[in-house]
Amino acid sequence: MKNIVVLTGAGISAESGLKTFRDANGLWEGHDVMEVATPEGFDNNPALVLEFYNQRRRQLLTVKPNAAHKALVDLEAHYNVHIITQNVDDLHERAGSSNILHLHGELLKARSISSAEDIFACTQDILLGDTCKNGFQLRPHIVWFGEAVPHLEDAIAITEKADYLIIVGTSMQVYPAAGLINFVHSGTPIYFIDPKPFINESYKSNLTIITQNAVDGLPTLVASLIDK
């Protein structure tokens, strides 16, 4: 069975009604990214950062997977599918996909500020004073700007084994995730689904650009790959 690697970003979840955090002016829900998505921001105003992610978590619990998420589940019946996502939501999991690697953390988990390995399931608000068993404050299990991406080497290893690469819901302009496209072997078919792609098919050999949104373009592509 051939390997399909799917790199997903905020665009696939936006079509479930999930806000994409970053506005056109670069603000995250009205906040400067340095205030709410950096270790320094958390040190300066932990209550603000916790509430920012509490709001995101509450919204996540109100939305459902869409046709694009479900198409990737269908694909698993015919290929070894590995999803590498920049998203911190659990919509791939809820849709039923099996192999998901979260590059930037998970909103429905919390961790101790004393250890990146001390991770808990979390569906409720995290408040100042909520601590791990050792008495350290809890924080969202999110990779903030300036922090290492812990699963990047795993993502590279997965991408290197791809027989097909599908990119959907991401502009491929946020690094290091955007660099994964460079780890597929020469000649590997790459499909880029984006209604307003910033690249054209001269960017890479064997690149096919599908100028549709995720819920339209991905089910169609999946159907064609299953027919193969």
Coil, helix or strand for 1? coil
φ, ψ at 227 (rounded to 5°): -65, -25
Query: Could you say which of 69, 92, 102, 104 is catalytic?
Result: 104
Q: Which residue has the tokens 């590059």?
A: 103
Residues contacting 32, CB < 8 A, separation 6+: none
Give the CA distances from residue 170 to residues 2, 50, 84, 195, 222, in Å, rounded to whole numbers and listed in that order.
24, 26, 12, 11, 18
Phi-psi label, residue 146: left if phi above 0, alpha if psi -120 to 50, beta otherwise: left
Q: Which amino acid is at 213?
A: N
Q: Catalytic residue at 104?
A: yes
Residues noted as catalytic: 104
